[in-house]
Structure 1
Amino acid sequence: MIFSFTATPDFDFMTYFARHIQAAVQNGLLVIPDHLGQGSIRKLAFGEDFKITIHRYVLKEDLIIKRKSSGQGNDLITIFFYSNEQPLEIAYNDDLQVPFSQRDESAIQVTSNDLSSTIRFPAHQTIHYVVVAIKPPQLRELLAVSEPNSVLQTIIGNGNSFLFFESMVAETKLLLKNLATVDMTDPLSHFYMQIRVQELLYLVFHKLALRESAPHQPINSADAERLLYIRNQILNDLSVPPVIRELAQVAAMSETKLKQLFKQTFGTTIYTYYQQARMEEAAFLLKQGKHSVGQVGYELGFSNLSHFSRLFEKHYGLNPKRYSYT
């Protein structure tokens, strides 16, 4: 199933998606028809400029959502929380080929609404994601930051094009899970949800506020697509360190532009991102209990196991052998 829409200021996802699947919306709740699957979509508004949509369902076929830029510039911030344990495919064109995440399928995406995107959700899997839509003035008022760093300045400013990814901490995952189970018949449920959604935003923007301040580089859909491709190139073989010159050629960018946009989008340098992914993969393999420390180290390209152990302990606070028994 493919659902396409243009991200105009007055677009309401729930209304148009309900028409697309020929279903009714009652009291902000859309129940998925039996012939398509099971589950629901719920929308809550905390004023005209601050809304949340909670998706939780299992579908009988893949769902592809295509968001097209209206070409009218940015007047809305979208924060997308995906907390599944299933592969998620995100692209900024129509070419969905590789999953966004490898071992940890959770992700947070903060974006202006002037970027086009395509997301595929797999069939026969529990889909759980949350979208918060908020206008810059409302977010500015909520955050009430007297001296925002360059990232927050870009997000709460007017007319900026941006894309930021953050990893999802355990606290965020738990909060998202709890949001989906709130009893909406409780007379104070709306009030409770607003508090929890603000807490969700705090967790995201607290991390973004800790990022290094640097001049913001404008980004478009083509740039975003290339960055995700480069990211997946890095993750495809963690035994080989990334070579910036080669990645820049693949991305059709200068080395300077690639390094700047990658760090801006993912919050860290290409090499640091690679090392973090390497350690996360090592932790995953060690927890499986099917590989020795030596096998894991060599599989991830370490010829010196002492070096591997030092890096791992720096990242997790335990050496690989002790970690595998925790």
Structure 2
Amino acid sequence: MSITILQTDFWQLFSEAEELPKQFTDEFDTIYRYPQELGQGYIRYLQLREGLDLTIAEYQLHDHLILKSPERQHDVEFTFYLSGGHKNQFSSAFTDQYAVCGSGLAPKECYEWLANPKNVSISIQIEAEFFYSYLDLHTEQKATQLTHLLGKPENRYYVRSGNTNSLMTIALQQILQCPYQDVAKRIYLESKALELIALLIVEELALGQFKKDIYYLKPDDIERIHYAKDVLIKNIDNPPSLIALARLVGLNDCTLKRGFHQVFGTTAFSYLHHYRLEKAEQLLAAGEMSVGEVARTVGFADRSYFAAAFRKKYGVNPSLYLKSRQKQRKNSA
């Protein structure tokens, strides 16, 4: 079962949600319980300074959630997924990945979250003025390499996903395990937020150095790449090789390989791997197949490898996940 909700209604539920008393937090730190209609858990909002906010979310959804967002203005935002994740028609990011969003105009989108055992994420919201003042983007070289993160209000915003590295993981865990209170906590969390921003800026600058290697994709190329994605999904249990897939969609393998990464932010078979696990989660949640049957259906020949991959993505063994969903259905019957 899935729940579809408009973004305005989603935030209305949060405005009505219970706020924890301030004695459990500091003045700049507000915690809301996740709306009971959708799941259980919490979302913390921390205003570190003017133009720099931190959001920590930890929750478990009752059902697959689809959030419909209208066209809107968007600030710079970096989100790290420690568990769970989301996807939409333009991008996706899951466990041990991050999403980079620049400022500008965000189009109409449908965000999807699976009913995972747990979703844990840390987001950094940065107003454009703060970004400009802190990074001092006045030299021509810096402006060329980084101002794609600071789009004009009328231009579509920049979106990219990537894999969280070890330094990012350490900073994220330090945020979750912050040992301080009051002013010390605020300073500590601000330093960790800036550290994560710096690590992502390093990656953006590194990507900028390889712009000459990025292919220009014609509209027809993009259409063929989307067709390649559809072929992979249709043949989830027995996908073609990259060369065979390229021939099937009418591209050479180099264009398909690089173009797929540009369009979807990951390789073709990394995309397929995550899609297989998402499909497996849906089949296990339905409770009509055994773990072995699910593994074979989504294309995992080795059940132990499937279990390890599922556990890494969702934080629980597939057998335990199946039992928990069956128990939930039995209790709700």
- Is the pair's TM-score, using the shorter chain for normalization, greater than 0.5? yes
Distance 1:224 1:246, change over 3 A: closer
SS in 2 for 1:92: coil
Deviations 1:66-109 (A, max 9, x none): 32213xxx55222222221x4x441138xxxxx957xx733222
Provide the TM-score with structure 1 as the length reference.
Answer: 0.58
| Contact preservation (8 Å) 1:136, 1:158 | no
Deviation at 1:65, TM superposition (A): 3.0
Deviation at 1:267, TM superposition (A): 6.7
Deviations 1:112-150 (A, max 9, x none): 451333333333511101222223332233333542375
Which residue of structure 2 aligns with residue 23 of structure 1?
18
Deviations 1:37-86 (A, max 9, x none): 5421111123443222111122333333332213xxx55222222221x4
Distance 1:150 1:259 in 2: 26
**Number of positions where the alignment pairs a residue of Structure 1 with one of Structure 2:** 250
Whether 1:44 and 2:64 are equivalent positions in the alignment is no
Deviation at 1:247, TM superposition (A): 4.5
Distance 1:51 1:216 in 2: 35
SS in 1 for 2:190: helix
- In terms of fraction of residues, the more helix-rich structure is 2
Whether 1:207 and 2:197 are equivalent positions in the alignment is no
| Contact preservation (8 Å) 2:52, 2:127 | yes
Which residue of structure 1 aligns with residue 96 of structure 2?
106
Distance 2:170 2:226 in 1: 27
Describe how 1:223-238 pairs up with structure 2 within 5 A: 236=236
Taking every aligned residue pair, what percent have the same amino acid on both sides? Answer: 18
Equivalent residue letter for 2:100: V
Distance 1:133 1:29 in 2: 17
Distance 1:164 1:265 in 2: 10
| Contact preservation (8 Å) 1:151, 1:213 | no
SS in 2 for 1:187: helix
Equivalent residue letter for 1:119: Y
Distance 1:167 1:89, change over 3 A: same
Provide the TM-score with structure 2 as the length reference.
Answer: 0.57
Distance 1:229 1:48, change over 3 A: farther
| Contact preservation (8 Å) 1:4, 1:66 | yes
Distance 1:226 1:56 in 2: 38
Which residue of structure 2 aligns with residue 310 of structure 1?
none
Which residue of structure 2 aligns with residue 62 of structure 1?
64
Distance 1:158 1:199 in 2: 26
Equivalent residue letter for 2:115: A
Distance 1:42 1:139 in 2: 22
Deviations 1:155-192 (A, max 9, x none): 13434422212121122233223322325634311111
Distance 1:165 1:138, change over 3 A: same
Which residue of structure 1 aligns with residue 125 of structure 2?
133
Distance 2:222 2:52 in 1: 25
Deviation at 1:35, TM superposition (A): 7.3
Which residue of structure 1 aligns with residue 165 of structure 2?
169
Deviation at 1:204, TM superposition (A): 1.5
Whether 1:154 and 2:148 are equivalent positions in the alignment is yes
Whether 1:185 and 2:184 are equivalent positions in the alignment is no
Which residue of structure 2 aligns with residue 313 of structure 1?
none
Which residues of structure 2 form unaligned runs of 5+? Answer: 22-28, 275-300, 302-333
Distance 1:224 1:30 in 2: 41
Distance 1:82 1:228 in 2: 25
Deviation at 1:36, TM superposition (A): 5.7
Distance 2:183 2:231 in 1: 50
Which residue of structure 1 aligns with residue 78 of structure 2?
79
Deviation at 1:263, TM superposition (A): 5.2
SS in 2 for 1:166: strand
Distance 2:180 2:223 in 1: 38
Distance 1:206 1:39 in 2: 33
Deviation at 1:3, TM superposition (A): 4.1
